[in-house]
């Protein structure tokens, strides 16, 4: 799954950020396109030993984009650590884009490969890369109840960070060495990806708060990713001043694997349904927090340069 690797785990923490105000699976056409963009600052805590944590602020960035044009909605996320600011010069990042139009959708994901089990292994991995590393690009498409996806491996300089996303996507397009295609039949009501599933769930929570002055966790939402089916559900919700704080859980419906994260999102005004903070612990030695910071724009997300 997207969360099995460290980079993809950071991508999930940030993917929650892309769930800005939502449209339904079959939205009514509207005139003109609208775009919403947000920047987030990444903070991190690392634990070189089991006894204590070391915290560091502003170690990376996340940028999100939500574009709606009639029946089409696109969610984009670019998130990553900055090796010039991150502990031990860690360079992990990811990009996700979901373009949904009715029952059809296209999905692209890019992430750095990583399977370190400790901060020492992460540091050693950086030293062993010797100028090159492998990036994974996942392309998927959904038509009606069928989903297909394929992975491309792209070798590139190890110094590439999240600011090089457009360059890597172009490399993947020019020099494709695709692996085996995954296909899956989707159950009725399956969302085309994690971003749109989370957007639906946040939208339901905020609407319930507005109409009933309360928030229930609600039913899980099923979504597809890279030929597999997952369920996203809120396990706990709590009202706060002008915001909702929730804990979420993702379950792989085949093997039961669970992934958990928490976030807060606004309920009123311009920040309604906009994630404010996201917290996720992808490794026992690493905890990531992303905080809304629109005081700076940050680097462009890929979809801004590649319509």
Sign, CA dihedral 196-198-200-206, equals negative
The predicted-structure confidence for 200-256, as pLDDT tens digits, reads as follows 999 999 999 999 999 999 999 999 998 899 999 999 999 998 999 999 999 999 999
Is 1 among the domain residues? no
Q: What's the predicted TM-score (pTM) here?
A: 0.83
Q: Write down the pLDDT at residue 4.
A: 38
**Does residue 23 lie within any of the structural domains?**
yes
Domain assignment of residue 153, yes or no:
yes
Residue 89 lies inside a defined structural domain of this protein: yes
Quick one: pLDDT at residue 305? 62
Residue 125 burial by Cβ neighbours in a 10 Å radius (0-12, 13-18, 19+): middle
**Which residues does residue 98 pair with via DSSP β-bridges, in sequence order?**
75, 107
Residue ranges for the chain with pLDDT beneath 70: 1-31, 50-51, 113-130, 175-178, 305-307
Chain-centre distance for alpha carbon 277: 13
The percentage of residues in the chain with a pLDDT greater than 90, rounded to a whole number, is 55
Strands 182-185 and 33-49: unpaired
Whether 198 is covered by a domain: the verdict is yes
pLDDT for res 177: 64
Q: Are 216 and 208 in contact (CB under 8 A)?
A: yes
- Structure confidence at residue 27 (pLDDT): 36
- pLDDT tens digits, one per residue of 56-85: 899 999 999 999 999 999 999 999 999 899
- CA–centroid distance for 147 within its chain: 19
Question: What's the domain range around 261?
Answer: 6-305
Question: How many structural domains is the chain composed of?
Answer: 1
What's residue 286's pLDDT? 79
pLDDT, position 289 = 94
């Amino acid at each position: 799954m997207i969360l099995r690797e460290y980079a993809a785990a950071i991508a999930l923490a940030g993917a929650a950020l892309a769930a800005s105000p939502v449209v339904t699976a079959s939205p009514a056409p509207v005139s003109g396109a609208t775009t919403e963009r947000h920047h987030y600052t990444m903070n991190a805590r690392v634990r070189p030993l089991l006894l204590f944590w070391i915290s560091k602020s502003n170690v990376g960035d996340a940028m999100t984009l939500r574009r709606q044009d009639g029946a089409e909605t696109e969610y984009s996320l670019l998130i990553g650590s900055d090796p010039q600011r991150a502990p031990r010069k860690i360079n992990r990042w990811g990009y996700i884009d979901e373009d949904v139009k009715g029952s059809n959708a296209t999905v692209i994901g890019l992430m750095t490969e990583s399977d370190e089990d400790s901060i020492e292994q992460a540091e050693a991995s950086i030293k062993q890369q010797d100028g090159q590393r492998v990036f994974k690009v996942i392309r998927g498409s959904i038509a009606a109840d069928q989903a297909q996806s394929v992975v491309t491996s792209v070798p590139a300089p190890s110094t590439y960070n999240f600011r090089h996303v457009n360059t890597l996507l172009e490399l993947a397009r020019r020099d494709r060495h695709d692996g085996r295609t995954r296909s899956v039949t989707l159950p009725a009501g399956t969302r085309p990806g994690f971003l749109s599933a989370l957007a639906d769930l946040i939208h339901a929570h905020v609407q319930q708060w507005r109409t009933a002055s309360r928030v229930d966790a609600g039913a899980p939402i099923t979504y597809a990713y890279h030929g597999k089916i997952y369920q996203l559900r809120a396990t706990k919700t709590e009202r706060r001043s002008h915001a909702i704080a929730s804990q979420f859980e993702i379950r792989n419906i085949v093997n039961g694997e669970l992934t958990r994260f928490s976030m807060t999102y606004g309920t009123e005004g311009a920040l309604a349904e906009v994630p404010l903070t996201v917290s996720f612990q992808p490794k026992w030695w690493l905890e990531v927090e992303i905080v809304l910071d629109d005081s700076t724009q940050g680097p462009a997300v890929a979809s801004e340069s590649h319509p």
